[in-house]
Amino acid sequence: MVQMIAASVASDWVRELMEWHFNPDTGSPFWLAKAESLDFDPRSDVRCVADLVRFPDVSSDLRDVRVEQLVPKGIREGTPRVFESGGTTGRPKRIVDFTAWDEEATATNAALDEHAFPEQGNWLYVGPTGPHVMAYIVARVARLRAGAVLSLDFDPRWVKQALRAGQHSVAEAYVAHIVEQAHDILQDQRIATAVFTPPILIAAARRTRLVRRLDRVSAIMWAGTSISPETLRLLEADIFPGITFAGQYGNTMMGATMQRPRGDDDPARCVFRSLYPRAHVDVVDFADPTRPVAYGARGRVRVHRLTRDMFLPNMLERDSAIRVARVNGDDDLADVRPCSPDELNMADADRTDAASSSPGPYAPGGAYANGSYEAYGEYGGGAYSDGAYVEGVY
């Protein structure tokens, strides 16, 4: 009964958004132009979540479309914020935002209460700033929790450029430079909550001096890339045993969601909540993306972004997850990690060819190089080597 009600509510929301984004009075120039090439009428033919697969994935168009073309005509007040994807393996994609990421911040704040994060106190954020949405959401959440944010900018695009040029020592020196600055802030300031991308957190955990400083914080939030269950257990249980941990999953295109409080029956150390209603997430078969996998099985993540600010349907991501049941009928996600080359190759040739030349919107994105999949993602990551995922510093 609960799932039936949730499905009905979701269908109502889909129909409302179809009217919003494809009505000439309220839709964006981008979608109104796209509608002319569709072989169906979104306002009359798209009635539920299942119908969204009729749309093409238009996220690659966001690399060069003018931002004013993305603004819905129905939004008549305010100016948009513009956020970009990581852009570490290709030209970045851009979205416009009016209220959607404020809603993400509100949801994140509520989730942190469930994880018993400090209700007050200063924050340390070590990650991408500038056009990246992560810095915005951290600042919003910190404000909701009455905290000031001390930020260190980590530029993943520059690191990726150095790695492509074979300048590994330069990239390592840059990471060391970031970590040393984090030490200085932790030495001088009272920090209650720290936010890291996993690669920077791992780099910090290798430095005893910085571990001692981090022992003074109450909570650590990690976000931006995946982290293996083994590494997460090591960080939580062995290196920072007295600190509360919580992860966040998402990206600029799809939105963000928090790890749910850990349960005894969870299939993995970290299970991420559904992004519903701001997005609908499916875990689908690697070879046949039209078919959801069974609960408890691993598949590829597919996302429909469903907000008034942005409508981005049918995005087949470059990461995989275990499908976990949730009462509202949407999927929760466990053990998120980059798709392996073999998993990506299971998809149809057109999609595989496109994926190998231009990365998907989610970190860890990546690209094929010399026969191996590099998963440096929006904000860092690791790489596949001999069929195994190896977490890197970048």
Express as a percent the part of the chain with pLDDT over 90. Answer: 73
The chain-wide mean pLDDT, for the chain, equals: 86
Query: Are 106 and 257 within 8 A, CB to CB?
Result: no
Q: Which of 121-135, 183-197, 262-276 has the lowest mean pLDDT?
A: 262-276
| pLDDT band at residue 339 using 50, 70 and 90 as cut-offs | very high
Q: pLDDT value at position 209?
A: 95
Q: pLDDT value at position 287?
A: 94
Vertex 28: Cα angle to 24 and 31 (nearest 5):
90
Q: pLDDT value at position 17?
A: 98
Question: What is the C-alpha separation between 28 and 45, in angstroms, rounded?
Answer: 19
263-302: pLDDT as tens digits: 888 888 999 998 888 999 999 999 999 999 999 999 999 9
Please determine, for residue 34, whether its predicted confidence score (pLDDT) is greater than 80: yes
Question: What is the C-alpha separation between 115 and 112, in angstroms, rounded?
Answer: 5
Q: What is the mean pLDDT of residues 349-366?
A: 36
| pLDDT band at residue 326 using 50, 70 and 90 as cut-offs | confident
Q: What is the mean pLDDT of residues 65-72?
A: 98
Edge-first strand order for the sheet with 332-338 is: 271-272, 332-338, 311-324, 298-306, 279-284
Task: Say how many CA atoms lie within 13 Å of 327 toward its Cβ.
Answer: 2
Give, for 105, the enclosing helix (H) or strand (E): helix 100-114
Helix (H, G, I), strand (E, B) or coil at 317: strand
155-168: pLDDT as tens digits: 988 888 899 999 99
Edge-first strand order for the sheet with 122-127 is: 149-153, 122-127, 191-196, 219-223, 244-251, 255-258
Please determine, for residue 392, whether its predicted confidence score (pLDDT) is greater than 70: no
Q: pLDDT value at position 111?
A: 96
The CATH class of the 101-391 domain is: alpha beta
Please determine, for residue 227, whether its predicted confidence score (pLDDT) is greater than 70: yes
Reading phi first (left if > 0) and then psi (alpha if -120 to 50, else beta), residue 155 is in: beta
Residue among 378, 164, 376 nearest 389 (CA): 376
Q: pLDDT value at position 135?
A: 95
Residue among 104, 91, 159, 166 nearest 127 (CA): 159
Query: Are 299 and 321 within 8 A, CB to CB?
Result: yes
Please determine, for residue 347, whether its predicted confidence score (pLDDT) is greater than 80: no
Q: pLDDT value at position 225?
A: 80
Q: What is the mean pLDDT of residues 173-196?
A: 97
For strands 388-391 and 382-385, give the pairing.
antiparallel
pTM: 0.85
